[in-house]
């Protein structure tokens, strides 16, 4: 599961149920009566004098645990409202930051534009060391988030470390709506649409992005689903309506009794022929996998990145007669080709494990040329691919007169796929395996052409020659050219 905890809550694939509140019948009545009797006895006689609410919550948690369903949960009315608001991007009483666990203190990894945090000057990379004067060293991330949140309009003071500087920033909590879709036009008339989650307005936001990009002359499209934990399944279907012919199978839902229901596209597509790449990673889950899986099965898009999370099950939310709701898994889904991806995930067509290269590789796949040229500046780490500056530092080492280049980012930038398995490095091109290198226990090959240094594998110039990569070097620049 995602290790970073968002002040936006990560959403899971689910549907709101039309089921009626459950009523006890038959054996259920006997079971319910036993639970009530046990609770009554504990409340009356246990030495701890447990509160009824404590026993009730314990009974609920025990029932949930018995399902062995990691996605099952009970919501009070307020928790249900917060859950749905978060999926829809409606965040109450927040400051607008994304945080993740750090060494002792949490780290700000993102600031949402237009929020109190953005206006107050909080920046990605800041370390939060105190909230309202209280040191938070070692706090669980969920407690940090809860401490930062509060009623809208109230104040919270964050003590931040930014390098050698310590800042105290006072922020006013606010209600924030975070769009789930961001878009822009990249070079070469390539549209780029990032989908963060699938809330109730995601389909409309995506449709609007497509229309605007088409108005700018879009000739190819990248859809970015990285770190997308899912949400409403019908919003993913709405997005697929842009591409699939009407009444095309999108996914099949199979319940615990084997009953099957097919989900199909509903509208005529607005895009019938457009080169597309979908970027995914190990945090792309559920509804994101439905979208990516359908486009992959119908060969409408190339999947780039790494294997997805593998959440191929569907939850429903059932209202309770006493208030609140039960969320639990009620079915699994299959991709149009009939693939069950639960705990397996989708396999990308082109693996790219280096996160900072995934979008660039997606763009290069849509704009094939005769050559790929990677230039690196020793000492600075600055790098460019076919003249496009990379958002990635590629740091080179030197052994005598020989340059050592970090293996994975260099080869992935040149559109090779790199795999480590059982002490063997395999390098693949689009045509298949082109190089296999056996490593010893120290991570070094017998020919001393792969060097492990500081946990990074470096390749020598000899490896480049075996891959038909030309190298031109001087004191200021290394140019690597791959003829395609």
CATH of the domain at 218: 3.90.226.10
Asked if the structure places residue 430 within a domain, the reply is yes
As to burial, measured by CB atoms within 10 angstroms (0-12 exposed, 13-18 middle, 19+ buried), residue 224 is buried
Asked if the structure places residue 389 within a domain, the reply is yes
CA nearest neighbour of 108 among 132, 131, 125, 129: 125
Catalytic residue among 194, 286, 331, 457: 286
pLDDT at 332: 95
Q: Picking from 161-170, 275-284, 378-387, 393-402, which range would have the lowest pLDDT averaged per residue?
A: 393-402
pLDDT tens digits, one per residue of 55-70: 999 999 999 999 999 9
Catalytic residue among 297, 340, 342, 349: 297
Taking a C-beta distance cutoff of 8 angstroms, is the pair 311, 2 a contact? no
Same domain as 313, residue 219:
yes
Across the strands, what pairs with 388?
385
Q: Is 297 a catalytic residue?
A: yes
Give me the residue label for tokens 């990285």: 226
Asked if the structure places residue 1 within a domain, the reply is no
Asked if the structure places residue 124 within a domain, the reply is yes
Q: How confident is the model at residue 198 (pLDDT cuts 50, 70, 90)?
A: very high
User: Among 113, 143, 177, which residue terminates a domain?
Assistant: 177
Catalytic residue among 73, 252, 265, 311: 311
Residue 233: which region, alpha, beta or left (left: phi > 0; alpha: psi -120 to 50)?
alpha
Q: Is 155 a catalytic residue?
A: no
Strand, coil or helix: 152:
coil
Same domain as 294, residue 193:
yes
Same domain as 413, residue 310:
no
Residue range 152-178: mean pLDDT, rounded:
94
User: Among 126, 150, 177, which residue terminates a domain?
Assistant: 177
pLDDT at 11: 33
Same domain as 324, residue 266:
yes
Domain that holds residue 471: 369-483
Share of the chain above pLDDT 90, in %: 66
Tokens of 416: 């090779």
Same domain as 163, residue 269:
no
Contacts for 390-396 with beta carbons within 8 Å, 24 or more apart? 390/356, 390/357, 390/360, 391/356, 391/360, 392/354, 392/356, 392/357, 396/478
d(CA 311, CA 69): 12
Taking a C-beta distance cutoff of 8 angstroms, is the pair 395, 342 a contact? no
Same domain as 295, residue 398:
no
Tokens of 245: 């012919």
Taking a C-beta distance cutoff of 8 angstroms, is the pair 362, 277 a contact? yes
Asked if the structure places residue 49 within a domain, the reply is no
Per-residue 3-state assignment (H helix, E strand, C coil) for 386-434: CCEECCCCCCCEEECCEEEEEHHHHHHHCCCEEEEECCEEEEEECCEEE
Same domain as 341, residue 468:
no
CATH of the domain at 145: 2.30.42.10
Instruction: Report the half-sphere exposure of 325 (CA within 13 A, side-chain side).
Output: 21
Asked if the structure places residue 270 within a domain, the reply is yes
Pairing of strands 302-305, 350-351: parallel
d(CA 438, CA 219): 43
pLDDT tens digits, one per residue of 351-360: 999 999 999 9
pLDDT at 10: 31
Across the strands, what pairs with 5?
99
Phi, psi (rounded to 5 degrees) for 407: -60, -55
Same domain as 414, residue 374:
yes
Asked if the structure places residue 476 within a domain, the reply is yes
pLDDT at 322: 85
pLDDT at 12: 42
Same domain as 315, residue 237:
yes
pLDDT at 443: 56
Same domain as 260, residue 151:
no
User: Among 177, 195, 220, which residue terminates a domain?
Assistant: 177
Q: Is the pLDDT of residue 275 over 90?
A: yes
Tokens of 380: 């600075």
Between these two residues, 239 and 397, which has the higher pLDDT value?
239
Give me the residue label for tokens 């319940």: 255
Strand, coil or helix: 131:
strand
Q: Which helix (H) or strand (E) holds 241?
A: none
Q: Is 370 a catalytic residue?
A: no
d(CA 359, CA 374): 16
Same domain as 199, residue 162:
no
Same domain as 168, residue 189:
no
Asked if the structure places residue 14 within a domain, the reply is no
d(CA 106, CA 99): 6
Taking a C-beta distance cutoff of 8 angstroms, is the pair 91, 7 a contact? yes
d(CA 466, CA 464): 5
d(CA 245, CA 298): 11
Could you give the number of structural domains in the chain?
Answer: 3
């Amino acid at each position: 599961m995602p290790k970073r905890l968002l002040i936006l809550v990560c959403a899971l694939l689910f549907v709101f149920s039309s089921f009626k509140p459950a009523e006890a019948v038959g054996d259920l009545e006997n079971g319910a009566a036993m639970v009530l009797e046990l609770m009554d006895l504990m409340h009356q006689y246990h030495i701890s004098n447990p509160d009824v609410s404590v026993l009730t919550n314990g009974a609920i948690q025990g029932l949930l645990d018995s399902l062995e369903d990691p996605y099952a949960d009970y919501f009070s009315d307020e928790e249900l409202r917060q859950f749905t608001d978060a999926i829809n991007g409606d965040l109450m009483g927040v400051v607008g930051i994304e945080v993740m666990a750090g060494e002792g203190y949490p780290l700000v990894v993102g600031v949402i534009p237009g929020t109190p945090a953005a206006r107050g000057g909080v920046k990605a990379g800041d370390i939060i060391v105190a909230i309202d004067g209280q040191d938070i060293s070692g706090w669980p991330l969920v407690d940090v988030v809860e401490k930062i949140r509060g009623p809208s309009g109230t104040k919270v003071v964050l003590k931040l470390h930014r390098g050698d500087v310590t800042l105290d920033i006072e922020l006013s909590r606010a209600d924030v709506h975070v769009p789930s879709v961001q878009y822009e036009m990249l070079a070469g008339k390539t549209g780029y649409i990032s989908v963060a989650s699938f809330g109730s307005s995601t389909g409309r936001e995506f449709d609007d992005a497509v229309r605007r990009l088409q108005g700018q002359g879009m000739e190819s499209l990248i859809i970015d689903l990285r770190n997308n934990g899912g949400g409403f399944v019908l919003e993913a279907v709405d997005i697929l309506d842009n591409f699939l012919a009407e009444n095309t199978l999108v996914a099949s839902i199979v319940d615990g009794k084997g009953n099957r229901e097919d989900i199909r596209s509903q509208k005529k597509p607005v895009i019938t022929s457009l080169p597309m790449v979908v970027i995914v990673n190990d945090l792309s889950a559920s509804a994101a996998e439905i979208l990516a899986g359908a486009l992959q099965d119908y060969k409408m898009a190339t999947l780039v990145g790494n294997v997805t999370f593998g959440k191929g099950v569907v939850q429903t939310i059932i209202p309770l007669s006493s208030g609140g709701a039960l969320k639990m898994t009620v079915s699994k889904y299959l991709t149009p080709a009939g693939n069950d991806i639960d705990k397996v995930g989708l396999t990308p067509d082109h693996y790219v494990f280096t996160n900072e290269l995934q979008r660039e590789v997606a763009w290069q796949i849509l704009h094939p040329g005769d050559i790929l040229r990677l230039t690196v500046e020793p000492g600075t780490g600055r790098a460019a691919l076919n003249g496009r500056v990379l958002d990635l530092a590629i740091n080179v080492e030197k052994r005598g007169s020989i340059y050592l280049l970090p293996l994975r980012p260099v080869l992935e930038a040149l559109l090779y796929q790199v795999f480590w398995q059982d002490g063997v490095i395999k390098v693949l091109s689009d045509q298949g395996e082109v190089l296999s290198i056996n490593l010893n226990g120290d991570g070094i090959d017998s020919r001393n052409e792969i060097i492990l240094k500081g946990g990074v594998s470096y390749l020598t110039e000899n490896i480049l020659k075996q891959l038909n990569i030309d190298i031109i070097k001087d004191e200021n620049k290394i140019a690597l050219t791959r003829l395609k």
